A = this chain, B = another copy of it.
Amino acid sequence: MEIPVVRNVLEANDRIAARLRADFTRRGILVLNIISSPGSGKTSLLERTLNDLAGEFRMAVIEGDLQTDNDARRVAASGAQAVQINTEGGCHLNSSMISEALQAINLEKLDILFIENVGNLVCPTEFDCGEDAKIALLSVTEGDDKPQKYPYLFHKAKAMLLNKTDLLPYVDFDVEKARAHARAVNADLAVMEVSCRTHTGLDAWYDWLRAAVKAKKEASHD
C-alpha cells in the first residue's frame, strides 16, 4: 500500500524538477545539491567557497533545515543571496520547495546555485531538486565504511568531498578504504580531501567548480 504512493510523490517531484532543470540550463546556471550527514560541514564548505570565489562567480544558496535560519544567516554574511527553507520535520528538500524558494532569488546573471539539503544521508538522495549534480560530503569522523553502508548517495553523486582531514590524526579513518568503498559503488566519482576548518585542499574543489560552470555555460548555448 505504501509503495505506489511513494512512487506518485516521486513522479510529481520529478516533473517539477525537470521543469526547474530546463530553466536553469536555459539560463546557464550550475546547480549543485549538497548532501551529507548532520554536521559534516556543508555550511562551512559553502562559507569558504562563497568567500573565496566571490570575485569570480555570482552565487546564491538555498538552505534546507528542519528549524532555524542559522545556516542562511551564516552564508549570507559572504554577501551571496541566501534563502532558508524550514521543512518543520521533513527529512529532505524537494523540487516544490526549491520552486517556492526561487521566488526570493534573482536568477539574472547567476553562475552557481548551491542547494544545501537537510542533514541526512538517505532521504535527500531520492528527491531530484533540478540539480546538475549531487555533491556528497563525508567527514572523516564518521567512519570510512559510510559509502558502503549508505551506497545510494555515493552511487548518484558526481563528487565526494572528504572533509575534516585535520582530524585524521585523532580518529580511526582509513582514507584509502573510504575511497575504495566509494569507487566500488561509483567508479566515476571525483574524490577530494579537504579541511574547511584549516582551509586545506579547497583548490581542487574550486577547479572542479570552474570546470562544471564552464560545461554548463556551453550546454546553455547548444
**How would residues 62 to 97 of chain A score, 1 for a CB under 8 Å from any chain B CB and 0 otherwise?**
000111101000000000000000000111000000
**How would residues 139 to 162 of chain A score, 1 for a CB under 8 Å from any chain B CB and 0 otherwise?**
101110110111110000000000
A215 contacts partner chain B, Cβ-Cβ < 8 Å:
no
B146 near A38 (CB under 8 angstroms)? yes
A:78-123 near B, CB below 8 Å: 89-91, 118-123
A5 contacts partner chain B, Cβ-Cβ < 8 Å:
yes
Question: Inside 8 A of A38's CB, which chain B residues have their CB?
Answer: 37, 121, 142-143, 146, 149-150
- Which single member of B2, B66, B123, B141 contacts A141 (CB below 8 Å)? B141
Known: A2-B9, A37-B39. A123 touches B123 (CB 8 A): yes
Kindly state the interface size class of chain A when it binds its partner.
35 or more
- Which single member of B39, B66, B120, B197 contacts A120 (CB below 8 Å)? B120
Question: Inside 8 A of A197's CB, which chain B residues have their CB?
Answer: 172
Closest residue of chain B to A166 (Cβ to Cβ) is B170
Additional 12 contacts, C-beta under 8 A, given A66-B149, A120-B122: A2-B9, A37-B39, A37-B119, A38-B146, A39-B139, A39-B143, A66-B122, A67-B150, A68-B148, A70-B148, A91-B122, A172-B197
